[in-house]
Structure 1
Amino acid sequence: MPFTLDCTYQFEEEIKKSRFQAIAAPVDHEQDVKAFLELHKDISTTHQCWAWKIGHDVRFNDDGEPSGTAGRPILATIEGNELTNVIVLVNRWFGGIKLGTGGLVRAYGGCAGQCLLQAEKIELIHKKIVSFQCLFNEWPILQYELQQLQIEYQTQYLAMGVAVEGQFKLDQIAGFALKIQDVTRGREQLHYDEL
């Protein structure tokens, strides 16, 4: 079961005179990643290393640190926490003492891990946009069902009835599809894109 973060979190620590700052945030698209990195661009840092995961897509960046010592450990921390739709940026201000490759892996991964440890994780619920039409006299019954399922929906009144579009959790679709067929006596059905 995948999880994401409820909001943005930060954690800071000093390791051998270098200051490390982790910032973790939820993201849904690559545009969110670009906006996050632009927002947190800091030219005072020595390195701005990051990793993100959205679904099965992953990216990471060592930003000048030796290959595999920063971005990959941050990504490992994201995956180790069973998170997706998350970006973690770790800023480093060099303090004059070299950490070595093992020290860098521990510092970047550890700082990201401490940041995620304090974060509130929420279950990532996949939803689909579903649409249907019904007659005016059928709408109150279906509206009641939508409210019982706590579905967010929009309506458009047409000459012959109501067109409805809503966001359904995947496990709600099959049951509501049967309800539509029952109420409309098989005349209407749910419309949505297959996974």
Structure 2
Amino acid sequence: MPFTLVSEVFFEEDIKKSRFQAIAAPVENEQEIKAFLEKYLDLTTTHQCWAWKIGHNVRFNDDGEPSGTAGRPILATIEGNELTNVIVLVNRWYGGIKLGTGGLVRAYGGCAGQCLLLAEKIELIEKKNVKFNCIFNEWAIFQYELNQQQIEYTEQYSAEGVEIIARLQLHQIEPLADKIQYVTRGRESLKLMDDAND
């Protein structure tokens, strides 16, 4: 069962005069990753190495450290903790003593690992984006249903009625699909949206 983080967490340590600082955060998509990296862009660092994992997608960056000594060990700690939808950034301020490739792997992986140990983790509940339409007098019924189940949604009004986009946990999809069929007497159906376009 995959887990993610509840909130951002920080960890700092000095290794042979170099200062290492890890920041881990939950992320949902590439826009959030980009925003996170922009937020923590720090030109005083010698290296800003990172790794992230969302579902089956992973990326990592050594930012000028020898290949495989920074980003990959950070990613290994994310996967070792059975985490997903997570980014870990490790900043290094070089202190004048070279650590060697083994030392770098231990420093980056270790700092990321310590940071993740401090983090509060929650089970990741897979969600899907769905959409459906209804006419105005049906919307009150669906609005009540969505609010009762604490489902996030947005609604768009048009002359014909309402288009609703909602984010559902997997177990909520079928009951809502049945309800839509019932309330609209088969006129409307629930459509799953492609994750790439959500």
Normalised to the residue count of structure 2, the TM-score between the two structures is 0.83
Aligned pairs (5 A) from 1:155-166: 155=155, 162-166=162-166
The 5-angstrom pairing of residues 6-21 of structure 1 reads 6-21=6-21
The residue correspondences of 1:97-108 to structure 2 (distance < 5 A) are: 97-108=97-108
Which amino acid in structure 1 is aligned with residue 173 of structure 2? I
AA aligned to 1:129 is: V
* Counterpart for residue 189 of structure 1: 189
Matches within 5 A, 1:1-195: 1-125=1-125, 126-134=127-135, 136=137, 138-155=138-155, 162-193=162-193
Paired with 1:34 and 1:161, the residues of 2 have a C-alpha distance of: 36
2:50–2:87 contact (8 Å) kept in structure 1: yes
| Local SS of the residue matching 2:150 | coil
Query: 4+ residue runs of structure 1 moved beyond 6 angstroms?
Result: none
Do the aligned partners of residues 58 and 13 (structure 1) sit closer, same or farther apart at CA in structure 2, a change above 3 Å counting? same
Question: Is contact 1:46–1:92 with CA below 8 Å preserved after alignment?
Answer: yes
**Residues 142 and 59 (structure 1 numbering): CA distance in 2 closer, same or farther, change over 3 Å?**
closer
Alpha carbons 1:128, 1:169 under 8 Å: kept: no
Change (3 A) 1:66 1:192: closer
| Alpha carbons of structure 1 residues 38 and 140: separation in structure 2 relative to 1, 3 Å | closer
How far 1:90 sits from its partner (Å)?
0.9
Give the percent of matched residue pairs that are identical in Structure 1 and Structure 2. Answer: 72
Q: For each residue in 1:22-80, what CA deviation from the matched residue of structure 2 results, as whole angstroms up to 9, or x when unmatched?
A: 11122233333233223222232222211112222211122222221111100101111
Shift of 1:163: 4.5
Q: TM-score, normalised by structure 1?
A: 0.84
CA contact (8 A) 2:128 2:167 kept: yes
Distance 1:60 1:159 in 2: 47
Q: Which amino acid aligns with 1:78?
A: I
* CA RMSD across the alignment: 2.4
TM-superposed deviation, 1:107:
0.9
What's the CA shift string for 1:124-159, capped at 9, x where partnerless?
3323132131462x4444443323322233445666
Aligned amino acid, residue 186 of structure 1? G
Moved more, 31-40 or 63-72: 31-40
Structure 1 91/152 Cα, relative in aligned 2: closer, same or farther at 3 Å? closer
What's the secondary structure of 2:192's corresponding residue? coil
Q: 1:13 to 1:146 in 2, by over 3 A?
A: same
1:179, distance to aligned residue in structure 2 (A): 1.8
**Separation in 2 of the partners of 1:115 and 1:34?**
20
* Structure 2 unmatched ranges of 5 or more: none
Could you say if the C-alpha distance between residues 178 and 90 of structure 1 is closer, same or farther in structure 2, counting changes exceeding 3 Å?
A: same
